[in-house]
Amino acid sequence: MKVTRKVVEDPELADRLSAEELAELLEEALRVFRAEPQLLELEGNALVVGDTHGDFESSRKALLEEAHLYLFLGDYVDRGLEQLKNVNFLLAKKVEQPERIYLLRGNHESPLMNYSYGFYWEVVGRYGPEIYRMYAEVFSSMPYAAILNGSAFAVHGGLAKGLRNALDVRGLRKGDIEPSDPIALQLLWNDPDESVERFAPSPRGPSIYLYGRMAVEEFLESNGLELVVRAHEYFPEGLHDYFRGKVLSLFSCRHYPGTSPKAVLFEGKAWRSVSLT
């Protein structure tokens, strides 16, 4: 039996794979992601999930919700208690159901973050550096963004300074282990800010920006879209809106004290909050 099928049928196996089984899983996942465009264009009732950071339980519960599509916005590893279990389970589901499960890249799908927040050391400690290299290659091939039902721009961090046409995301290069393109970097790292008009430097670091109401409204209008759905920030309530609902920010990890993890179900252009507790 294929290792992906084994993990889907018994998710408890996701963090108990041998090095050979894990290499097979990562090779299959890489094949699937390489075949996808950098900008997904998805239609159908879709459950959108924010950062899970090793929270296998939230990922599992999300996939038990009734939906046609499942779109995860990145940050599957680092910080959490079940990093390997979470990411391996999601990769196996993606391989087995590539037309229903979609996994975007987050800012934690990169070696620099994994060195600092734990995933690199967990993988190398259990399996060695070659398996981590395979994870990094898989992460570098994940799509950066999606357009959902022709109305929502889905991304990990948010709008990028210099990106006017959403379709230009299609031209971003796959395989950048550390994103070097300024647009790609910003899609993973930028944050909305109510005090900013268009763009302003971010305290997160160089080449990263805060984006404001005017930037959001201009991007949505020029692309015929209605809202941005993103992750990347912690909110204990699990869901926060900016700019009178033009930006929805999701947090789906239960491992922070007092957090109520949420997802959002899009039914056509309408949406509603879904609890993952």
Alpha-carbon gap, residue 55 to 262, rounded angstroms: 12
Which ranges in the chain belong to alpha helices (H)? 3-9, 19-34, 56-64, 83-96, 111-117, 119-127, 129-140, 182-189, 213-223
Spatial neighbors of 101 by CB under 8 A, at least 6 apart, are 63, 69, 70, 72, 90, 93, 94
Collapsed DSSP state (helix, strand, coil) of residue 224: coil
Residue 180's CB is within 10 A of a number of other CB atoms, namely 9
Collapsed DSSP state (helix, strand, coil) of residue 109: coil
Collapsed DSSP state (helix, strand, coil) of residue 191: strand
- Residues with catalytic function: 108
Alpha-carbon gap, residue 260 to 116, rounded angstroms: 26
Alpha-carbon gap, residue 245 to 159, rounded angstroms: 15
